[in-house]
A = this chain, B = another copy of it.
Amino acid sequence: MKIAILFGANSFEHEISIVSAIALKKVLKEELVYIFCDYHRSFYLVPADKITSKRFSSGEYKKDKKLSIKNGGFYHKTLVSEKKLEFDVLLNVIHGSDGEDGKIASLLDFFHISYIGPRNEASVISYNKLFTKMYANEFGVKTLNYEILQKNEPREINLIFPVIIKPLRLGSSIGISIVKDKDELDYALDVAFEFDNQVLIEPFVNKIKEYNLAGYKGGKYNFSIIEEPQKEEFLDFDKKYLDFSRTKKVNEAKLSDDMANKIREAFIKLYEPLFAGALIRCDFFVLDNEVYINEINPVPGSMANYLFSDFSSAIKDLAISLPKNIKIPKTYKYIHKIQSAKGK
């Protein structure tokens, strides 16, 4: 199986996507082709042996083959014509906007390109933290209380401090602040509004238990181990992503079977059928023995490969279990009817 890794794009998490793409080189045993989408949304075919962070930061990638996306796939120009880039399935590794907000899913579906990753609906629901809450509640998974503020609204909130302020639509801890009292609110809102015109405000529960579970449905459900993320990482973007070479240390959660099952049950409630075709990581809270969904990451950092014992097989399993689109008959039934009624 030949897998295309699509990464980069016009996102605050552009650089994290490069980190993810590099990480996958080490863990995927399949033949890989790398498609880089730059900040300006031009596509390039980057040789797999030249995937280093410097290639992108220096602009050297611009010497690579330029690709265009159109019906059926990605194409590059040849002397006389153009050639389709061959691969069996594409893996969407673009984090944040473009990759997780549904634009890339839409492009790939529109142009009939087979891919692993969230479909458009799943992207929109998980990218917007309000929609995630609406969706989770609808399907019986608890969420924390919240308020929403618009950029141009009076900055009044009813939640009791401390609260946590988040841009409504980003991931990766960007623009997030913990606010201990009213005096700190303005600055935190200013920061969050840099990234979105809407912000989400939730109660900040100190020392809340956090558990991350990744998984997907291939032939059947395949779950990762449940991770208890290290607390100091929680809000620190720099620490989380600065060191490319760091081997991710996984802190497997010590949980009762009952609680582990509760977490997996919540995952299943959220996953199907919306997230079919994607390997996602759900970040849960546990409070008073109840499971709450904090965030659904439909394109998790490094694809959460470090949580799986055999990530390469997982991706192959998922690749052969992708959802199919409903076929639309290509007819002109009504127009023909009218024309014959008119005697044309």
Contacts and interface: CB of A to CB of B under 8 A. Distances in A.
Nearest to A16: B334
A47 interface: no
Count of this chain's copies in the oligomeric assembly: 2
Contact of A338 (B112, B125, B195, B244): B244
Interface in A10-54: 10-12, 14-15, 18, 39-42, 53-54
A138 B125 CA distance: 14
A228 interface: no
Contacts of A243: 338
A273 B198 contact: yes
A79 interface: no
A173 interface: no
Contact of A103 (B53, B109, B198): B109
Interface residues on A, range: 35 or more
A330 interface: yes
Interface in A291-344: 326, 328, 330, 332-339, 344
A56 B334 CA distance: 12
A11 B197 contact: no
A188 interface: no
B120 A328 contact: no
Contacts of A53: 335, 338-339
Interface stretch (A127-135, A157-165, A255-263): A127-135
A241 interface: yes
Given A102-B102, A124-B125, 20 more contacts: A12-B328, A15-B335, A40-B71, A41-B111, A56-B332, A57-B335, A97-B328, A103-B110, A103-B120, A104-B110, A106-B107, A106-B110, A106-B120, A107-B110, A120-B120, A121-B128, A130-B138, A197-B273, A243-B338, A244-B338
Question: What are the 5 A-B residue pairs with the smallest beta carbon separation, nearest first?
Answer: A106-B106, A57-B332, A39-B330, A124-B124, A103-B106
Interface of A: 10-12, 14-15, 18, 39-42, 53-54, 56-57, 68, 70-71, 97-98, 101-107, 109-112, 120-121, 124-125, 128, 130-131, 134-135, 138, 150, 195-198, 238, 241-244, 273, 326, 328, 330, 332-339, 344
